[in-house]
Structure 1
Amino acid sequence: MDGQLLAFTGVAAGMVAMPGADFTVVVRNALVSRRAGIACALGITAGLMLHTALAVAGVAAVLTAVPALFRTLQLLGGAYVLYLGARTLRALRRPRPEAPEETSVAARPLRQGFVTNALNPKAPITFLSLLPQFVPAGSPALPRTLLLALIVVVLALLWFPAVALLVDRLGRWLRRPRAARRVEAVTGAALTALGTVLLLEAVT
């Protein structure tokens, strides 16, 4: 692996591991079950695949050229994260179910992970501005950017399931009624705050 690829891998790893809505949604679902956490992690990875594909195709440039479209996606993304936070906080008032339904264990977390990541308009623009910095001058751009995109997807595929597995590993303590409600309250508040920030950024 050449020096540029090593540098890009380090930068991409920091971007993927940075705490945010993706991380919080994975933790929230992993508290339900290992399967839910893994499904959510796979949904986030699928969202990243979409973003990297858009960046490679140059579609992300449209978001930069059309501010109204970018702002619309910001509003949608912020509203969805805010909705997840409000839903988590509202769930604290209800008794915890003995066993989650099959749809909530797999399909719903997968969808939550994908939508949370896919509705982040900053991601494709970040990739669009980042990927060209690691394409050597004179080399074919498409194969190199595809390789860089693959590195991002692999890092996400390693990181988010690892987070889900760690939360599940600590599940015996985290799922105690008092501890679980505290963690859910923190994640709900974090998602609500993140959604609010995203909405404020979109309207200012």
Structure 2
Amino acid sequence: MDAQLIAFTGVAASMVAMPGADFTVVVRNALVSRRAGVACALGIAAGLLIHTALAVAGVAAVLVAVPALFRAMQLLGGAYVLYLGVRTLWSLRGPRTVVAEGTGAGAGTGAGTRALRQGFVTNALNPKASLTFLGLLPQFVPEGGAVLPRTLMMALIVVVLALLWFPAVALLVDRLGRWLRRPRTARAVQTVTGTVLAVLGAALLLGPWRAA
């Protein structure tokens, strides 16, 4: 592995590990069950695969050339993240015992499917990810080198990092599950994750209006 690829791996790892909507959604689902947390993590990795494929193909450049398309995707992504945050906060209106129900490794496949979809949609509807990769990947392609193989390798590195990081987060949350799922602690965590998701979603929704 050459120096540029090592540097890219470090930068990409920092980007993947940066707390944001993806991280928060994984934590939220991992509190439901280990299966849901890991499924959500896999959904995020699948969303990243879409973004890196777009960047490699150059299609993401359309988002730069057509601002209206970028704003539309930003609004969709923001609305979805805001919806997840509001729904999380709304669920706290129930009895204290509700937040602890349905947890553990044995939760049904339905929760896993929903979590997989949530992870994928949360990541896939974030156009900033495509723009980030579009601007990042070319910086680590040696001058005169083969562009396609190089960018494909870097895209694969990003997806592998996501497959390592987000399931690890889900498993860590599940490992701490007995403490995190205590009614009082679970409600506090849900309040924090719901608030973070709502704020991130609102920020994404307000972005296009500020730019207008």
- Shorter-chain TM range is over 0.9
* 1:75-95 CA-partner distances (Å, limit 9, x unpaired): 000000000000000011124
Structure 2 alignment gaps of length 5 or more: none
Q: Say yes or no: does 1:114 pair with 2:158.
A: no
CA distance, structure 2, for counterparts of residue 42 and residue 125 of structure 1: 21
What SS is found at the alignment partner of 2:93? Answer: coil
Corresponding residue number in structure 1 for 2:23: 23
Q: Identify the match of residue 179 of structure 1 among 182, 185, 188.
A: 185
Q: Say yes or no: does 1:196 pair with 2:202.
A: yes
The one-letter amino acid paired with 2:37 is G
Corresponding residue number in structure 1 for 2:47: 47
What SS is found at the alignment partner of 1:105? Answer: helix
Instruction: State the TM-score, normalizing by the size of structure 1.
Output: 0.97
- Give the conservation status (yes or no) of the 8 Å contact 2:40–2:118: yes
TM-superposed CA distance for 1:49, in Å, is 0.2
Corresponding residue number in structure 1 for 2:108: 102
CA distance, structure 2, for counterparts of residue 144 and residue 168 of structure 1: 36
Shift >6 Å, 4+ stretches = none
- Give the conservation status (yes or no) of the 8 Å contact 2:31–2:37: yes
- Give the conservation status (yes or no) of the 8 Å contact 2:33–2:102: no
CA distance, structure 2, for counterparts of residue 128 and residue 190 of structure 1: 27
What SS is found at the alignment partner of 1:39? Answer: helix
TM-superposed CA distance for 1:103, in Å, is 4.8
Q: Identify the match of residue 150 of structure 1 among 145, 148, 156.
A: 156
The percentage of aligned residue pairs carrying the same residue is 76
Corresponding residue number in structure 1 for 2:84: 84
TM-superposed CA distance for 1:203, in Å, is 1.4
